[in-house]
Amino acid sequence: MNDKTVYFVTGTDTEIGKTVSTSVLIRSFVDAGLKVAGLKPIASGFELRGDDWLNEDIESLTVSSNVSLPPEIVNVYAFSEPVAPHIGADEANISICLDTIVQAVELAKRKADVLFVEGVGGWRVPLSGRDKSQEDTVLARGDVSTLAKKLDVPVILVVGMRLGCINQAVLTAEQIVNDGMNLVGWVANSTAPTMECYQQNLSTLSQLIPAPLLFELPYFADDAQRQSYVVEVYPKLLAV
């Protein structure tokens, strides 16, 4: 492994466990004795607690990390409402600049041995808002995959284990590979206490996704359990 390593974590959809999976990855590398930090460059859905606007995903990544970074490095673009980033950017009348995110990642690399950069939504979620030079219905180019390609780092796919996950997972994995990215592994995250035919679905996904299964993440009803769960992932990623 290089002294400075960055992984990009994406998912098959929103609310499928990207953050909890990223937090587990961070803790695995921390346990291996490395300086590790998690970044969420684009986040939406903040709540006011006291005088601060807080986001649960960012809190989870920060708690799991053992490297302290300025908030503006951990999260470059923050949108208060839980909406898609291109909508949040439109409503805030701003543009998401990928170069600004890349600069934040470069600054974080100076303090950490390993970084996990969590995406937003799925692989094709738009980041750019409306192209003001054209009709209002036209979206400017740029999505989560564009950011991952700009960073040019290995990709980890989080699959929410639920009905319909096979189609979503296979299509997303295929697109990641077709986009020329290095898919180094995937995570099976249980989004509910039980899933019909879980093992059969897991077996099918293991055969169809062109990357190794890094770990399975059980369903946690309790936040404390979720935040303390640790699994040995570091050796598997090192071997990829």
Torsion angles phi and psi, residue 26, rounded to 5: -60, -50
Identify which of 234, 38, 237 has the alpha carbon closest to the alpha carbon of residue 119: 38
Catalytically annotated residue among 4, 35, 40, 111: 40
Which two tokens mark 124?
């094709």
26-43 tens-digit pLDDT? 999 999 999 999 999 999
Structure tokens given for 236: 């598997």
The C-alpha angle with vertex 143 and arms to 174 and 116, in degrees rounded to 5, equals: 75
What size, in residues, is the chain? 240
pLDDT cut 70: percent of the chain above it? 93
Average pLDDT score, the chain = 90
Q: Which residue has the higher pLDDT, 49 or 151?
A: 151
Return the beta strands (E) in the chain as ranges.
5-11, 36-39, 42-44, 47-49, 52-54, 77-79, 114-118, 155-161, 183-190, 213-217
Tens-digit pLDDT profile for residues 82-115: 899 999 998 988 889 999 999 999 999 999 999 9
Residue 51 to residues 3, 48, 56, 91, 149, Cα–Cα distance (Å): 38, 7, 16, 23, 36
Residue 70 has pLDDT above 50, yes or no: yes
User: Angle CA(65)–CA(68)–CA(71) in degrees, nearest 5?
Assistant: 105
Query: Which tokens is 32 given?
Result: 């291996």
Residue range 73-87: mean pLDDT, rounded: 93
130 DSSP assignment: B
The pLDDT value given to residue 139: 47
Assess whether 111 carries a catalytic annotation: no
Residue 199 binned pLDDT confidence (cut-offs 50, 70, 90): very high
Residues whose CB is less than 8 angstroms from the CB of residue 23 and which lie 6 or more positions away in sequence, other chains included: 38, 60, 61, 63, 64, 226, 227
